[in-house]
A and B are shown apart, each in its own frame.
Chain A
Amino acid sequence: MLIRLFSYMGKYKKYAALAMLCITVEGILELLVPLIMADLVDVGVANGDTAYIYTKGVQMAACAVIALGLGIGSARFAALAGQGLGAELRRAEYEKLQHYSFSNIDHFRTSSLVTRLTSDVTNIQNAVSMGMRPFCRGPVMLVAATGIAYSINHTLAVVFFIALPVLGAALCVITMKVRPLYSKMQGAVDTVNRIIQENLTAIRVVKACVRGDYEIAKFEEGNRNLRCQSETAFRLAALNMPAMQFVMYGTILGILFYGGKLMQVGNMQVGDLTGFLSYVLQILNSLMMISNVFLLMTRSVASGARIMEVIDEKIDITDEKARDIEVERGEISFEHVWFKYKKEAKEYVLSDISLRIEAGQTVGIIGQTGAAKSTLVQLIPRLYEAGQGIVKVDGIPVQEYPMERLRDAVAMVLQKNTLFSGSLLSNLKWGREDASLEEVETACRIACVDEFLERLPEGYDTEMGQGGVNVSGGQKQRICIARAILKKPKVLILDDSTSAVDTATERKIRERMEEYLPFMTKIIIAQRISSVRSADQIVILDDGKISDVGTHEELLGRSEIYRQIYESQKEGVEL
């Protein structure tokens, strides 16, 4: 999986290669310096050759300068590679997200998507930027120092041929065992975070129900579990260092003793012994480094897996069957459509829906909470895909339209709507960048935005979204309607989009839509009978099935449900 992650490095690969090169050369220089030094002492000082001493000194200084350059270079390249990888990963994730369908979006939670795009990527890029140095140095040092040590004395090398596998095995076991413990710990962290998050968002509920103690008890349970999990994981990981020390000290002693014996026989010099010792320590150190890198990676693997989940998510709505056609009129038909959100779900959300909407008609959809009204209309712009049956626009199955054109032609005002940061004008033009001011004004007039526009502090330039001016629910809904109208769609769907608008204004919007947009097919989902009563046909959805279709008068005469809804509102609002 790591390999897959790194394949996203793309054009930054060369920096990674450069960084590795710099680090490798730097590592070799570091091994070279003691050799020069040995010469300086053994030859220069021993022979009293001042000039030789200076030469070697200059050589060492040169090495230092080169190492400095390489060091700075490696830092820069490693940063470039790591941050580049991060940027590419973020990009790849975001790009993939663009193709998600609604059901793909439902699959992930919003907050979890944000984490996957932000902190998970940060984890990976930092692991690369920081881990690169030990990751390259470790093996280089290991190989080089082993070679040198071996060349100094073959026999003595036996000592570390024992020590090396022992330490290697110990580190290996620790790393392998820690890995699952880390993921367990991450699970505990997630639980604790979830409890905090829920507590913070629902703090009013907690306080109103006086459930502070209950929440604390719940938190303590998670907290205790987290402590246990992390204690086990960290304690095991912390064995690394003592294990290293045991082996290192053992090796030193072994070499001292065995080397002493060898020297007795005359097979070895003192200088060799000390040199040998320092190289062996170097080797063990690099092993340690490598194992640390692995531990570091273990922790970022979890992040990597989460990122890959986003990238690997199977897009369920694609342009596979698309032809080069456009929506011309806006006639809609459902032919025996069945739908459920998840394949595993037992019950269908929509069952056997057949419905025909002529171009230019106004259709109202009414029904209980949870009757699947929104689901029904979301099938038209292919926000979800019908399980069985066919949804047609202009007599052609929706799958055959390129998605972009289909969605341009079918505008929808969602129940849960959002304004984005930016001015009112930029929000309005969201659907169509090149709309002229005149068109914007017309759209605002139809949606009755013009009525409160002057009262906004800076008119069209008023800041919306987070940190912007607070518009009321009704005003926001009107802006969203204007935004949709501005797209000049063939079909306009209003999903409970006038619930906060007063009935008088709502009537005005309806009238203006009839007047200005007579050829647009309009589908209105509403709670209030008054919102749909003048529609050409009203669809009553009950429990995912069409209970009845007809005009207000017809339904009042024959539909029990419709009459009940009507009665429940009649007293409330004058119709």
Chain B
Amino acid sequence: MAQYQYHGSKRPKNTKKTLLHLLRYLGHHKWLFLLVGLLVCVSTGANLLGTYLLKPVINRFILPGDLKGLLAAVAGMGIMYLCGALASLAYSQLMIKSAQTVIQEIRRDLFVHVQRLPLRYFDAHTHGELMSRFTNDVDTVQEAMNNSFAMIIQTFLTLTGTVIMMMVLSLRLSMIVVVFLALMFAFIRFNGSRSRKYFQRQQAQLGRINGFVEEMMAGQKVEKVFNHEKKDFENFCVLNENLRRESTSALAYTGMQVPTVVSLSYFNYAVSACAGGLFALSGLMDLGGLASYLVYVRQSAMPLNQFTQQVNLLMTALAGAERIFDLMEAEPEVDEGDVTLCHVKEEDGKLVETAERTGHFAWRVPEAPGTPEVPEAPGTPEVPEAPGTPEVAEMLGTPAAAGSGTRLVPLKGDVRFDQVVFGYVPEKQVLNGISLYAKPGQKIAFVGSTGAGKTTIINLINRFYEIQSGTITYDGIDIRRIRKDDLRHSLAMVIQETHLFTGTIADNIRYGKLDATDEEVREAARIANADSFIRRLPDGYDTMLYSDGSNLSQGQRQLLAIARAAVARPPVLILDEATSSIDTRTERLIEKGMDAVMEGRTVFVIAHRLSTVRNSKAIMVLEHGEIIERGDHESLLEQKGRYYQLYTGQFELE
């Protein structure tokens, strides 16, 4: 099939590999597919044979007037036809069933894989791009599986069958057909490559207009405020007309293929008829033979057309499949952690693991044989400014036995960065050797310009990204040793951009803790000060939210996001500009509620507004990936440094 790959307007780069991968999916249902193939053969065979049998039936029974024989022959053909039709019925139903199952599997595997991709991948690819893997590419594969698979077998058989029949009838005459078929084939190839060129131009125009429309729809309200509608409409019309022109050419060329091939087949027909007529005159062929030969000639164009069309479709589908498989092969997040999170309770002064939800957590650290009793504790931390470093041993807690080979380390929320270097792209470092220390149970704040690295620090604690050098420890354990899911379970995060899911308000809050009771949900909403506005919504907590909660204001969405974190009651909480759209008065109320929830637990706060961070125990001022000042509010003011400038409004955060 490889030689046809040039026809696809979008063709795969590595046909063989993609095909193999696709075949692996089909392999789960290989018996079904074999059966389908067999049934297709039966159905096509019946069709071909039927046409072939017409002549003998007419010659042997109808002409001599053998009614009884005719009845028997018709009955025989009837059985054959019935088999053929039943086979078609069976294969088309089977094919759809197996195709849909395969598609479902592909879609699921794709989704599962996407869940495992690191954030780095999402940074580098737009949502639209990933979305199109799920929609356009899966659709083309589905389309091809529904139809092309059977059609290709069928048309190929018909084509070969017809050519063989013609050769049987007259080898010499069939040479003409072969020549014409070759000609048609050449034309299809030529036209294919030409229309591909136009299709690429059409795609480019389509991309341009889509980009324009997306931008304008997003900025619609601004457009109205500025009376800019007319101007934009003019621009749109230009793009629209360009697209129309390009796509007209593209489609005109593709549309030409079928009629051209059909016309060529008329030529073929005419030439064959004349030649056949002359042959018959010179006695090289009998009249009946000529008649049935010409029937086959007439039939030969259709399967060629269909065959090439289906092969084109298949190639497009393979290209789609290739993009899908490429995504499936993208490197997933690495997770070699063996340290897990568990609930603990204290029994006789010792920590014991328990299935209960005690609200106390510990790390279950497997002890590799030969590992020293106190593992990679951050030694003598090279963080001179960090207050209270000496309590390392105390902080690690009394190592408690939790079964053979494991050790329980109480979760305290002690986070340390030691000489951490990180950049989203290797060439550009965002953090240049940052060392910091978060004392457990404290509220730690980061202040700094956009791009100073505040959010980056948070992303690293969560292990959304991998650091380039240095270490990050969490309760004395290198975070790379902690299983990612457990690490993230221990931290609740409220991020700058709030995202809500389609579902009720209660569902959205419950996202933080799936088994939260209604009362817990309400309590969390009250802490986040969201209860009053939720109760005023038409259906209260059962109000449906659509498309990322677009029916709520930015501030309301942030309140919900905070409620989501509050219901989770995490050991460590991270607030990344979580209250930026909330007025200061409400913010103060939330702060009080959250402080109560997070009593004795570690909280990280990132904010632009200094009033948000003012009450924090330690405030770190970041600039260009480095901590330039640290201390509490008063001491920072006394330093009269950058914090002071910010505070007195002499400096703008960017």
Contact = CB atoms under 8 A, between A and B. Distances in A.
Q: Tell whether A and B belong to one assembly.
A: yes
B50 interface: yes
Contacts of B57: 256
Contacts of A264: 65, 67
A256 B70 contact: yes
- Tell me the interface secondary structure of chain B in the complex: helix
A200 interface: yes
Contacts of A472: 449-450, 653-654
Interface stretch (A161-169, A434-442, A502-510, A548-556): A502-510
Interface string B265-279: 011011101100110
Nearest to A64: B266
Interface stretch (B163-171, B217-225, B314-322, B367-375): B217-225
B190 interface: no
Contacts of A574: 647-649
B218 A110 contact: yes
Interface string B3-42: 0000000000000000000000000000000000000000
A512 interface: no
A343 to B, nearest CB: 13
B88 A241 contact: yes
B210 interface: yes
B499 A205 contact: yes
A329 to B, nearest CB: 20
Interface string B94-126: 011100110110011001101110010010000
B464 interface: yes
A82 B214 CA distance: 24
Nearest to B111: A219
Interface in A443-497: 465-466, 472-475, 483, 487
B263 A111 contact: no
Contacts of B291: 41, 274
A515 B231 CA distance: 32
Contact of B280 (A45, A86, A503): A45
A253 B213 CA distance: 58
B260 A71 contact: yes
A2 interface: no
B220 A105 contact: yes
A568 interface: yes
B89 interface: yes
A473 B609 CA distance: 13
A116 to B, nearest CB: 10
B252 A75 contact: yes
A211 B640 CA distance: 44
Given A196-B111, A206-B115, A90 B493 contact: no
B274 A53 contact: yes
Interface residues of B, number: 166
A84 interface: yes
Given A60-B269, A383-B225, A430-B226, A86 B244 contact: yes
A340 to B, nearest CB: 11
B58 to A, nearest CB: 6
Contact of A252 (B81, B214, B240, B499): B81
B62 A273 contact: yes
Nearest to B493: A208
A469 B58 CA distance: 81
B215 interface: yes
Contacts of B612: 572
Contacts of A516: none
B81 A235 contact: no
Contacts of B227: 404, 407-408, 431
Nearest to B651: A502
Given A474-B654, A475-B654, A569-B584, A72 B222 contact: no
Interface in A237-291: 238-239, 241-242, 245-246, 249-250, 252-253, 256-257, 259-261, 263-264, 270, 273-274, 277-278
A171 to B, nearest CB: 15
Nearest to A110: B217
B270 A64 contact: yes
B100 A369 contact: no
A490 B454 CA distance: 41
A109 B62 contact: no
A68 B462 CA distance: 66
Interface string A162-185: 000000000000000000000000
B350 interface: no
A472 B251 CA distance: 45
B278 A198 contact: no
B496 to A, nearest CB: 9
B302 to A, nearest CB: 10
B610 A83 contact: no
A335 interface: no
Contacts of B219: 418, 420
A80 B252 CA distance: 8
A34 B299 CA distance: 12
Interface stretch (A94-102, A148-156, A357-365, A388-396): A94-102
A204 B119 contact: yes
A41 B43 CA distance: 32
B225 A414 contact: yes
A557 interface: no
A74 interface: yes
Given A102-B221, A573-B611, 14 more contacts: A33-B269, A57-B274, A75-B259, A76-B255, A98-B232, A202-B499, A204-B119, A219-B111, A224-B104, A227-B101, A230-B100, A249-B78, A270-B58, A572-B610
Closest 3 interchain pairs by CB?
A: A71-B259, A572-B611, A369-B555
24 contacts: A34-B298, A45-B287, A53-B274, A58-B270, A60-B270, A70-B259, A75-B253, A75-B256, A79-B248, A87-B243, A198-B501, A202-B499, A204-B119, A204-B464, A204-B497, A205-B511, A211-B511, A238-B95, A253-B81, A414-B222, A430-B228, A500-B653, A504-B650, A569-B584
